Structure 1
Amino acid sequence: MKLLMIILFFRLIHFGRSFYCYWNTGCPYKYLASETPYNSVRGDIRDSIVKLEGCEPASIWGIYRHGKRYPVMPEGNLMKGGISIKNYITSSYENGHSGMCAQDVDNLRNWEYNDRVFENKEDLTDEGRKEMMFLGKRFREAFPDLLDEVQKSTSTFRSAKGPLFENSIKELVRGLQGKAKLSIDDPKSSFDDINPHLNCKKYLNEVSNNFNVLSEVEKYINTSDYLVVSKTKYNYTCKTLYNLCRYTWSGIDTRVSPWCAIFTKDDLQVLEYEEDLQHYFKNGYGSPINEILGRIPLANLYETFEGAKNGNGKRFVAYVTDDTTIEQIYSAIGLFKDSKPLSGVKQDHDRKWRSSIMSAFSANFVAVLHRCRNERTTDYNVVFYMNEEPVISICEDGVCSWQEFQNKLQSFVNTTFDICKE
């Protein structure tokens, strides 16, 4: 029965899809939700740094998602099992029952199996290590003077607990390292303001572990758009083939995955929207508690810059956490907020909430405090960056005066964790 379904799957492709060759499409769809490689969406801080006349960087605060990771159980086991479908794809093509292009089939046939991808370990891949190290190197080149003056007392480098996060901060610091010897703090073993959701019972009970939160996702997977994809692509499993596409795509080497040739651009957009719905309600505006939790790390940002402004703060702060915290921060500060909530009734192609961009592997949100002097006064401005590109929507022209920065973030210092005790 399973073989019959797979043969039917390829016949549906043969008769139901337009002639489309993935290998030479020129601009393959690269937005793979929260498993998007960082190089697919990043800018370059060396080129995009905002230089303010008469000003110099006084302090940098940044929060980073961990680098590309290995798939965890049961993802890895399912993907490992799903590789067997490669034989059906090639034999189906040879027997004239496939609409895939010859080169796409060849690329999949010649794809080399790497057992390390499916080891189910909670750690970075080699690509994830490079992502974080190269990210640090670019920041070092962009802010050499500030980093050369950093000492243990004027810096904080810390990650959430676990090898995935701890190895990410090590690689980031390796890239940042120059003349100054940078020291990494131990992760916190209890409540941590860089991933407060992990210790919030209200969040865990009412959002993270509450299937009702994903009612809009359930609506979407029953729409005609989604059913067309699932019925013609997933006689194995929906997520397995999508994950094979995502986890075998290399952003560092600019090498797309031959597994992605199974999908059309429309297919990938449908799957991306499904995950965006999940992230919207689990980590974003779909659940009000996310905005509250996002204020906690932003309070740390405000206090860091206030201390630097008063002459006793940190010059460089870097934290490594998860995609949940990153998206909660964006919710708290009002970024990527659509005019109306995302809906599972129909895909919103013009939505602002895009996990592919917001929370790709190694995604980051960085603020730079500038000290500006003239003959009479000293003033301070703040510039925000996301994935190494300036964020212009927080303040006019992307530069916040100290007063604007204070108006937006000072109240977050009063955020309490009491809501999580319910």
Structure 2
Amino acid sequence: MLLFILWTALMGPLATVQAKGSCYAYERNPYVLFSTYTPYEFVHENSDDRVDIPKCHPVQFWILSRHGTRYIKEDGIKEMWSLRSLRDEIISNLDKRQGRLCTQDVENLKKWTPQAVLTLPNDLTPQGYRDAYYLALRYKSRFPTLLNRSYRPDKFQVQFTDTQRTTLTAFAFIDGIFGSTVDIELPQPLSPDPVLKPSDYCTAWDEDVNHNPDSMKEANAFLYGPEMQSVLQSVSRRLGTNITNENLDNIYTTCRFEKAWHVDSVSPWCAAFTKDELKILEYKEDLESYYKRGFGNEMNKHVGCPLAKDLLDRFSKLENGETQPSGVFYFSHDTDIQLFFTSLGVGKDRINITHSNYATMARRNWRTSLLTPFASNFAAIFFKCDRGEPFRVQFRLQEKLLRLKGCPHNRWGLCDWSVIKKKYGYISDTCDLSFCFKEMTE
């Protein structure tokens, strides 16, 4: 804090333009962990090497994927367009040497124009299609005995929610697995869908958690706490104008979406932030999701159980010799995937994240940038083995091996099915969403 006061005194009210070396435009390693708007390109496993496990062969591939990169929602599009007037004010003040952006960042801001139109709110982007298409190609390379096959309706099950972005993501994934010429009859999505989108199905959760002001207490306390207020003041100085919380949110949202839409380009609005400030903004997002969809509320794990039950029940049928598809492909949304993770205990920390422990939670497990970026995916592969335990499971998150708590560490990330049943079997036995519908009272 003392250093900050000294810096302010030395710089005075009129800050000078930064040197070229500190330009965001020239940053070789920008911070791109933007919570649920994180581009998938920066967080997934790049290897597509075939998975060959001695004495074991895969018998089912189960995947739950979020839709790929999407356009901004309708209100967000209007807010993005409203940035033009703020941009002009910033440029005018920077020309008067009020503010602190380098020459190239200023030039990029001058050339900026909104890249969203009202006709495409929430729809999948071209990058979103690529996210799912190449995800499918990589998994096809890893598990060719399961996925490098001709399509048959009894061998592959595809299901998605009732939105354009998940539907088109499913088609992109199918394109990567089977090719664009394959003729597939896909089921009509359910609305509401108690398995893929329990957040829409469960009215009790929507009222008691999602729209309960108490769920925002920690995020709001952080918003008006010292870390976020420091970000607000710093961005105001950097841009040469007084920035409100609403401005800050709008700038951050635009920065994130534009980077996700064009992964090889820079958004001029990202120049408003330092890496440390982006980490603070990321934490604010995590606080909201933690209490609305994560471990901050006990109801969340119960709402997220249907997908976990689906996975466990399918593997149990395979153990019992019942016929199952080789591939099960589900496409949903970040809210429901977070609820599913909460049900399984994925991303659980030893203590709750709160508005007051940001400094000690840098290595937290509940980090939505890594849990549910665009095109986030959780895959479970059921193996039959000829040595040791007869059935084992490999889990992958963003294509990287995921070792769930209680599973031994080994080269292949395999966990004995008996361990999984012991740890999670209660979910199959107790999953019941009947609590979602409160009795109507007069």
- Give the TM-score normalised by structure 2: 0.86
Aligned residues with identical type, % of pairs = 25
SS of the equivalent of 1:385 reads strand
- Paired residues for 1:98-137 under 5 Å: 98-116=99-117, 119=119, 121-137=121-137
> Does the alignment pair 1:219 with 2:232?
no
- Paired residues for 1:225-374 under 5 Å: 225-233=227-235, 234-235=243-244, 237-250=247-260, 253-309=263-319, 310-347=321-358, 348-373=361-386
8 Å contact from structure 1 (residues 223, 346) kept in 2: no
218-227 or 306-315, larger mean C-alpha shift: 306-315
Q: What is the aligned residue count?
A: 408
Work out the CA distance in 1 between the residues paired with 2:277 and 2:13: 14
8 Å contact from structure 2 (residues 65, 375) kept in 1: yes
Offset of residue 381 of structure 1: 0.9
8 Å contact from structure 2 (residues 17, 103) kept in 1: no
147-156 or 311-320, larger mean C-alpha shift: 147-156
For each residue in 1:63-98, what CA deviation from the matched residue of structure 2 results, as whole angstroms up to 9, or x when unmatched?
011111111121110111113333333333332222
Which residue in 1 is equivalent to 2:83?
A: 82
> Residues 164, 251 of structure 1: CA spacing in aligned structure 2 closer, same or farther, 3 A cutoff?
closer
> Residues 305, 181 of structure 1: CA spacing in aligned structure 2 closer, same or farther, 3 A cutoff?
farther
Which residue in 1 is equivalent to 2:414?
A: 399
Offset of residue 15 of structure 1: 7.5
Offset of residue 250 of structure 1: 3.9
> Residues 252, 406 of structure 1: CA spacing in aligned structure 2 closer, same or farther, 3 A cutoff?
farther
Offset of residue 416 of structure 1: 0.9
Offset of residue 195 of structure 1: 1.4
> Residues 13, 303 of structure 1: CA spacing in aligned structure 2 closer, same or farther, 3 A cutoff?
farther
8 Å contact from structure 1 (residues 302, 413) kept in 2: yes
> Does the alignment pair 1:146 with 2:146?
yes
Work out the CA distance in 2 between the residues paired with 1:288 and 1:20: 45
227-236 or 92-101, larger mean C-alpha shift: 227-236
For each residue in 1:288-344, what CA deviation from the matched residue of structure 2 results, as whole angstroms up to 9, or x when unmatched?
111112221011001222223314112100111111111112111112111111111
Offset of residue 373 of structure 1: 2.2
Whichever residue aligns with residue 203 of structure 1, its letter is W
SS of the equivalent of 1:286 reads coil
Whichever residue aligns with residue 387 of structure 1, its letter is Q
Which residue in 2 is equivalent to 1:8?
A: none
Aligned pair partner of 2:200 in 198, 201, 207: 198
Whichever residue aligns with residue 316 of structure 2, its letter is E
Work out the CA distance in 1 between the residues paired with 2:160 and 2:233: 42
8 Å contact from structure 2 (residues 157, 325) kept in 1: yes
> Residues 339, 146 of structure 1: CA spacing in aligned structure 2 closer, same or farther, 3 A cutoff?
same
> Residues 120, 267 of structure 1: CA spacing in aligned structure 2 closer, same or farther, 3 A cutoff?
farther
- Paired residues for 1:24-173 under 5 Å: 24-44=26-46, 46-47=48-49, 50-116=51-117, 119=119, 121-147=121-147, 148=149, 151-173=152-174
For each residue in 1:7-43, what CA deviation from the matched residue of structure 2 results, as whole angstroms up to 9, or x when unmatched?
xxxx979389999421233211111111111112111
> Residues 144, 341 of structure 1: CA spacing in aligned structure 2 closer, same or farther, 3 A cutoff?
same
8 Å contact from structure 1 (residues 195, 322) kept in 2: yes
For each residue in 1:345-396, what CA deviation from the matched residue of structure 2 results, as whole angstroms up to 9, or x when unmatched?
241323211011111010010001112125xx88111000000100024421
> Residues 311, 130 of structure 1: CA spacing in aligned structure 2 closer, same or farther, 3 A cutoff?
same
> Residues 17, 94 of structure 1: CA spacing in aligned structure 2 closer, same or farther, 3 A cutoff?
closer
SS of the equivalent of 1:396 reads coil
> Residues 281, 115 of structure 1: CA spacing in aligned structure 2 closer, same or farther, 3 A cutoff?
closer
SS of the equivalent of 1:86 reads helix
> Does the alignment pair 1:416 with 2:432?
yes
8 Å contact from structure 1 (residues 140, 177) kept in 2: no
> Residues 252, 89 of structure 1: CA spacing in aligned structure 2 closer, same or farther, 3 A cutoff?
closer
> Residues 114, 252 of structure 1: CA spacing in aligned structure 2 closer, same or farther, 3 A cutoff?
closer
Which residue in 2 is equivalent to 1:23?
A: 25
Offset of residue 251 of structure 1: 6.6
> Residues 324, 45 of structure 1: CA spacing in aligned structure 2 closer, same or farther, 3 A cutoff?
farther
Which residue in 2 is equivalent to 1:6?
A: none
Offset of residue 108 of structure 1: 2.4
8 Å contact from structure 1 (residues 294, 325) kept in 2: yes
Gaps of 5+ in 2: 1-11, 236-242
Work out the CA distance in 1 between the residues paired with 2:108 and 2:14: 18
8 Å contact from structure 1 (residues 290, 328) kept in 2: yes
> Residues 409, 314 of structure 1: CA spacing in aligned structure 2 closer, same or farther, 3 A cutoff?
farther
Offset of residue 157 of structure 1: 0.4
Which residue in 2 is equivalent to 1:3?
A: none
8 Å contact from structure 1 (residues 45, 139) kept in 2: no
Whichever residue aligns with residue 257 of structure 1, its letter is S
8 Å contact from structure 1 (residues 250, 256) kept in 2: no
> Residues 86, 127 of structure 1: CA spacing in aligned structure 2 closer, same or farther, 3 A cutoff?
same
Work out the CA distance in 1 between the residues paired with 2:94 and 2:107: 10
Work out the CA distance in 1 between the residues paired with 2:60 and 2:26: 45
Work out the CA distance in 1 between the residues paired with 2:151 and 2:415: 24
